Amino acid sequence: MKIAVCIKQSPARDAGLRPARGGAWIEETDLAFEMNEPDAYALEEGLQLKDQHGSEVVVVCLGPARAAQTIREALAKGADRAIHIESESVMVDPLATAQLIAAALRPEQPDIILTGLQSDDLGYGQTGVVLAELLGIPHATIIMQVEWDGSSLVVKRELEDGWFQRVRLPLPALLTIQSGIRKLRYATLMGIKRAKTKEIKRLAAADLGGEPGAGGIALERVYLPEKSKQGQRFTGDPKEAAARVVEKLRFEARVL
């Protein structure tokens, strides 16, 4: 069984972000990058399936040259080999991104494709399901548990208000993994050494039929949220005032 895991390099979660000159994207100079956290959980799930069933895990990453660091991290954790789709452009269109990944994965013919639920930087949550549609395979989202019974996948999906759904999928299939599904592993010293000898296949985005930066979505302006202070005074009956405060905190501030 072959498992493909789509990973992305995104700005570190504690990095200080500021708009770049022109305002179309963030300033990346001296910015720290790391593996997109939801994708790290997808990788962990792929490695768990490998440990249980002896699968081959292939990671696929679309990004610039610096993304090689994130690819090496995935290899150090246990992935067998990698495909790096090289593009220096900022890919903000999930359809254009999925088209490039689909072109790279078709020759591989993986049995299972795993992606994170969404990316930390753009947060569309669409690339995985669009990729499944382009490849013509079934998919399921917000996956909390994956089981392989020898002929099909049985997955547990998270719904709303504490509800879950179990779905059986034939192979090949694509799953978008929910963060927190498992405890993430660390790369061992031996894993880091072995990663240096593992294969990384490099493909140019243009050679896959995609134009870097092309697509139906374009960012016009990135800006920091405006800070403002606002106060409200509640008068009248104390019980009624307290109820109104709770309502404001629950439905407007969303802190309850």
Kindly state whether residue 99 falls inside one of the protein's structural domains. yes
- Cβ atoms of residues 181 and 145 within 8 Å: yes
pLDDT at 109: 95
Residue at 239 is within a domain: no
CATH number at residue 195: 3.40.50.620
Cis amide linkage into residue 38, ω under 30° from 0: no
| 241 found inside a domain | no
Span 65-69, mean pLDDT? 93
Residue 253 included in any domain: no
* pLDDT for 150 beyond 90: no
| Core vs surface per residue 166-203: b (16+ CB within 10 A) or e | eeebeebbbbbbbbebeeeeebeeebeeebeebeeeeb
Q: Examine the pLDDT at 106 and tell me if it is beyond 90.
A: yes
Distance CA 87, CA 101 (A): 12
Asked whether residue 34 is assigned to any structural domain, the reply reads yes
Of residues 26 and 51, more confidence is placed in: 51
Least confident of 84-93, 98-107, 120-129, 215-224: 215-224
Question: What is d(CA 133, CA 152) in angstroms, rounded to the nearest whole number?
Answer: 19
User: In angstroms, what CA-CA distances link 169 with 37, 137, 140, 153, 156?
Assistant: 25, 10, 8, 5, 11
The answer to whether residue 230 sits within a structural domain is no
SS3 43: helix
The neighbouring-strand residues paired with 177 are: 116, 143
The proportion of the chain whose per-residue pLDDT surpasses 70, expressed as a percent, equals: 98
Residue range(s) defining the domain that contains residue 12? 2-208
| Token pair listed for 145 | 């548990």
Count up the domains in the chain and report the number. Answer: 1
**Helices marked H in 23-153:** 37-53, 68-77, 94-105, 127-135
In-domain check, residue 156 = yes
pLDDT tens readout for residues 188-216:
999 999 999 999 999 998 888 765 455 67
Q: What is the structure's pLDDT at 117?
A: 93
Q: In the predicted model, what is the mean pLDDT of the chain?
A: 89
Assigned domain for 38 exists: yes
* Residue 130 pLDDT grade (very low, low, confident, very high; cuts 50, 70, 90): very high
176: Cα separation from own chain's centroid: 8
